Amino acid sequence: MAHFTKATSVKDWLNQRLAIEKVEKVMASEYWIPKNINFLWAMGMILAITFALLLVSGIFLLMYYQPHVDFAFDSVNYTIMREVDFGWLWRHVHGVAASVVFLVIYIHMFTGIYYGSYKKGREMIWISGMLLFVTFSAEAFSGYMLPWGQMSYWAGMVITNIFSLGDLHLDGLVEWIRGDYVPAQAFLTRFFMLHVLLLPLAIMGLIGLHFAALRIPHVNNQDGEEIDFEAESKKYLDGDKAGSKVMRFGNDFLSKDMMVVGVFLIFFFYLVFYNYSFALDPVNFDPADMLKTPAHIYPEWYFLWSYEILRPFSVNIGLIAFGFAQVIFVLLPWLDRSPNVAPANRRGAFSIWFWLLLIDMIVLTAMGKLPPEGIFSTIGLVAALGFIILWVALPFITMNEKKV
């Protein structure tokens, strides 16, 4: 048994039993961050704050939401929005946060790609981040079902049909996921459980894994410089703070983080109070009706790029392309064959590849919201093929890249 002495304070009593000083050092005061970074490195903290907003607002909505096909729509659109004091505010916060969190995720993801933050021992940071992206996507989809409006119902119908896997006709799997032949009470209940319990727990666990994965390789920097963190942290602790290339996470880097978070929250609450309609699909203000198909079914904006990769092709080829798009980002650390850890603007052909990928995904997102007809269908097909070609070409582009 460990040796305990008479505590001199509450902090000392807790420290002897929970090692809070050691935890504080590991998590903050001796967790070292490079100095040569920019505001884009604050996206992780913004994501944590946005997730907290989703949790808090979700708890308040949960107090009045009823997960039943006969009452779900009214509990959201009448009880919460009209009868509960400030219910509209919590719904706006939750809806805007659910949309904005993906904007920040994409910024965070492309920042990592641009600066090569997935290489040289940082593979687990990238993999845990991509697992978070997939889990957030599942959380968003399950939450989109809960208002039980027209687009909720038909989006659920279309997305779950994907699991039939085309000509394999795995209809039994689709029925197992839904709990019925069509989305109904069993479907709503199990997606409610996923949204409020299982997936949030998974997200919290993956956030812990993502943060833990940063401990050994440390955070990358905007120059891709290889920093000796032990030597630089010793220099900092010896008093040469200006000469050291690193700073403490708490409270040096954290204070910079909070500055960026403050700017983000101004933008966020502007959307909540003045421009929230972008997060609430007008079609979803009609109750779910299994006998009336919407003229144009589409997912939320953050899924449009992958939806457009599925849509231009025949069923089987489209499913293969869709599956390709879902897993290919995870393989990035192995597809990029270059040893260089440097920003894309110093990597020649990779820089062109990066900007082409970003533009292509923006085009896919724009086309995914439009009906698949005429010129829009052609542009969507070209963009989908371009996405696949870019990823197939990446190993060849980076294989012979000159060292920088």
Query: Average pLDDT for residues 105-134, to the nearest whole number?
Result: 96
Q: What pLDDT shows up at residue 17?
A: 87
In this model, does residue 25 exceed pLDDT 90? no
281 pLDDT tier (thresholds 50, 70, 90) = confident
pLDDT above 70 as % of the chain: 100
Side chain identity at 352, as an amino acid letter? I
- How would DSSP label each residue in 46-58? HHHHHHHHHHHHH
Confidence of residue 263 (pLDDT cuts 50, 70, 90): very high
Tell me how far apart the alpha carbons of residues 260 and 380 are, in angstroms, rounded to a whole number: 36
Instruction: Indicate the domain borders of the chain.
Output: 26-291, 298-403
Hunting for tokens 């390709």 — which residue is that? Answer: 324
Instruction: Please spell the DSSP secondary structure of 274-289, one letter per residue.
Output: HSGGGGS-GGGGSBP-
Rg (CA), the chain: 24
Residue 71: pLDDT band (50, 70, 90) is: very high
CA–CA separation, 346 and 341 (whole Å): 10
Residue 278: the pLDDT is: 87
At 21, is the pLDDT very low, low, confident or very high (cuts 50, 70, 90)?
A: confident
Distance, CA of 384 to CA of 309 (rounded, Å)? 5
Q: Could you name the CATH architecture of 26-291?
A: Up-down Bundle (1.20)
| DSSP states of 230-254 | HHHHHHHHTT-TTT-SEEEIIIIIH
Q: What is the pLDDT of residue 235?
A: 94
Q: Is the pLDDT of residue 1 over 80?
A: no
SS3 sequence of 34-89? ECCCCHHHHHHHHHHHHHHHHHHHHHHHHCCCCCCCCCHHHHHHHHHHHHCCCHHH
Q: How confident is the model over 212-228, as pLDDT tens digits?
A: 999 889 899 999 899 99
Whether the predicted pLDDT of 2 surpasses 80: no
Annotate 281-348 with three-state secondary structure.
Answer: CHHHHCECCCCCCCCCCCCCHHHHHHHHHHCCCCHHHHHHHHHHHHHHHHHHHHHCCCCCCCCHHHCC
Looking at residue 301, what is its pLDDT? Answer: 93
pLDDT above 90 coverage of the chain, percent: 81
